[in-house]
Amino acid sequence: MSGVTQVSSSKSFNGFQKVFSHQSDELKCEMKFSIYVPPGASESNKCPVLYWLSGLTCTEQNFIVKSGFQRYASEHNLIVVGPDTSPRGAGVEGEDDDWKLGTGAGFYVDATQPKWAKNYRMFSYVTKELIKVVEDNFNFVLPGVRAISGHSMGGHGALVCSLRSPGLYKSVSAFAPIGSAMNTPVGIRCLTEYLGPDPETWKDYDASQLIAKYNGPPINLIVEQGSADEFSAQGEILIEKLTDACKEASFPIDYRFRDGYDHGYYFVSTFIGDHIKHHATILRS
């Protein structure tokens, strides 16, 4: 496991917003991730971690620049880590041709199709390699005490990573997640490219399908959705499939439907403080 190299560091709310790079074994390329170090974190006062997964087209920068989460992470002494959304510069033919596929659109799956399989392994990167990199390299991290959250494609990723890895995360939340990737236009395209044409193979990366068969410790789940979400109107979110799956499976969900909010970071920044508080409370209980 290679070490990490600091790319940037800026003081924020008495803590530090940092970005690091490392050579990824899973993705076979250099990857960047952000880490917010709250003022109370130290080797003698290890803090829990919230992992944040961003959406289509994003890098590790979008969330740390646009959401304003640092104020709340500082208040609650919560470390927040945010990876990039895909490999960068992998050299896969066509990966930069369309913002809905390839670069910036890893979809948090482990690709099985030969064209993508070597590099596009974001599920294993998030649930295995990134956790090990963080816990091995930062002595202020409380090992094994973690939560996960995300937005849009990243909300889908947060749900899939937690549902497929029972007990790995103690709490989960999502902003406007893709509730059923195998039934949305962008999801169908990406899953077909990454996993092949058989819809049966897509079910392992569809949150609604995974909820129906989940058998693990209870998950503290919050889902936020805006009523003016433009992507929901285009059939790219399908939040109702997620809430229906939770109801049918008696899977507890705190579903918050927010009047007038759209899909963007004004929505995320309005409610991120509630999510930070929720995760910090669960992680320290």
- C-alpha 97/C-alpha 2 separation (Å) is 31
Residue from 24, 34, 149, 152 carrying the catalytic annotation: 152
- What's the one-letter identity of residue 143? P
pTM: 0.97
198 catalytic residue (yes or no): no
The answer to whether 214 and 187 are in contact (CB under 8 A) is no
Residue from 263, 275, 278, 279 carrying the catalytic annotation: 263
Pairing of strands 47-53, 141-151: parallel
Query: What is the topology classification, in CATH, of domain 5-283?
Result: Rossmann fold (3.40.50)
For the chain, which residues score pLDDT lower than 70?
1-2
**pLDDT by residue (tens digit) across 81-123?**
999 999 999 999 999 999 999 999 999 999 999 999 999 999 9
- C-alpha 7/C-alpha 21 separation (Å) is 7
pLDDT at 1: 40
pLDDT at 237: 96
Phi, psi of 203 (to 5 degrees): -60, -25
Phi, psi of 7 (to 5 degrees): -100, -40
**pLDDT by residue (tens digit) across 188-218?**
999 999 999 999 999 999 999 999 999 999 9
152 catalytic residue (yes or no): yes
Residue from 76, 229, 278, 279 carrying the catalytic annotation: 229
pLDDT at 2: 56
